[in-house]
């Protein structure tokens, strides 16, 4: 199985392009797909290649789907995110359980679980994540207890992975079994595919 990289926002290709071996402009995929994590959402199990978005990232996918339903224009996810930060999206409180350790967070903007480093068409949300790590860990990224203005200020830094310099509002937790539960339903995305009205997800990689 091979990948021919194309498109303007290929998060999988962005993650592996500096490490993979090209064969006639194709990328062999066997090592990347032979072991993939599971995510359980609303009683159903799914596999994922890049990550699970939950919070404003899920909201952006949901709003993008609405745009595509009525227009052929390219969806501006950055614009959707900014409008969300300016009042369209409302943060939740969250309970995050990683390998049995329970943590509680208030005013959570996003809480994805990542196998790769990138999502959202080039955002390096989990810069230290290695999709081929031998420990088979995922990275949960919790962005919390910050004002919309503060989030707007650091939003551009997500594209370069330098949001790691703000540990007071962005936390990274590695683990094999990640459960995130919001106190009110939110949209969720699995590799860009939207599921609406989700209260909880569980991502497992072992």
Name the pTM for this structure. Answer: 0.94
**pLDDT of res. 121:** 85
98-143 pLDDT, tens digit per residue, is 999 999 999 999 999 999 999 988 899 999 999 999 999 999 999 9
Q: What pairing do the DSSP bridges indicate for beta strands 92-98 and 177-190?
A: antiparallel
132-186 pLDDT, tens digit per residue, is 999 999 999 999 999 999 999 998 899 999 999 999 999 999 999 999 999 999 9
For residue 91, count other CB atoms closer than 10 A to its CB: 23
End-to-end Cα spacing for the chain: 23
**pLDDT of res. 25:** 87
Strands in the chain per DSSP E: 2-3, 27-28, 38-41, 44-47, 51-54, 92-98, 101-110, 113-114, 118-119, 123-124, 138-144, 170-175, 177-190, 193-204
**pLDDT of res. 8:** 66
Minimum mean pLDDT range among 40-49, 74-83, 135-144: 74-83
**pLDDT of res. 76:** 85
Nearest to 10 by CA among 49, 65, 68, 37: 49
Does pLDDT of 97 surpass 90?
yes
For residue 50, the Cα-to-chain-centroid distance in whole angstroms is: 7
**pLDDT of res. 37:** 98
**pLDDT of res. 78:** 81
Per-residue pLDDT, averaged over 81-87, amounts to: 90
User: pLDDT-derived band of residue 24, with 50, 70 and 90 as boundaries?
Assistant: confident
**pLDDT of res. 79:** 87
Per-residue pLDDT, averaged over 53-62, amounts to: 95
62-78 pLDDT, tens digit per residue, is 999 999 999 988 888 88
């Amino acid at each position: 199985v091979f990948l021919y990289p194309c498109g303007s926002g290929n998060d999988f290709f962005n993650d592996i392009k500096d490490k993979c071996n090209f064969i006639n402009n194709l990328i062999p995929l066997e090592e990347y797909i032979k072991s993939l994590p599971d995510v359980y959402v609303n009683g159903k199990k799914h596999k994922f290649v890049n990550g699970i978005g939950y919070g404003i990232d899920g909201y952006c996918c949901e709003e993008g789907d609405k745009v595509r339903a009525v227009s052929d224009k390219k969806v501006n996810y950055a614009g959707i995110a900014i409008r969300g930060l300016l009042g369209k999206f409302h943060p939740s409180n969250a309970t995050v359980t990683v390998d049995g350790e329970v943590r509680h967070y208030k005013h959570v903007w996003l809480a994805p679980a990542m196998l790769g480093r990138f999502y959202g068409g080039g955002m390096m949300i989990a810069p230290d994540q290695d999709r081929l790590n031998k420990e088979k860990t995922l990275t949960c990224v919790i962005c919390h207890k910050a004002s919309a203005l503060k989030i707007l200020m650091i939003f551009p830094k997500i594209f370069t992975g330098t949001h790691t310099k703000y540990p007071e509002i962005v936390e990274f937790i590695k683990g094999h079994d990640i459960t995130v539960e919001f106190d009110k339903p939110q949209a969720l995305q699995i590799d860009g595919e939207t599921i609406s009205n989700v209260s909880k997800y569980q991502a497992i990689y072992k």
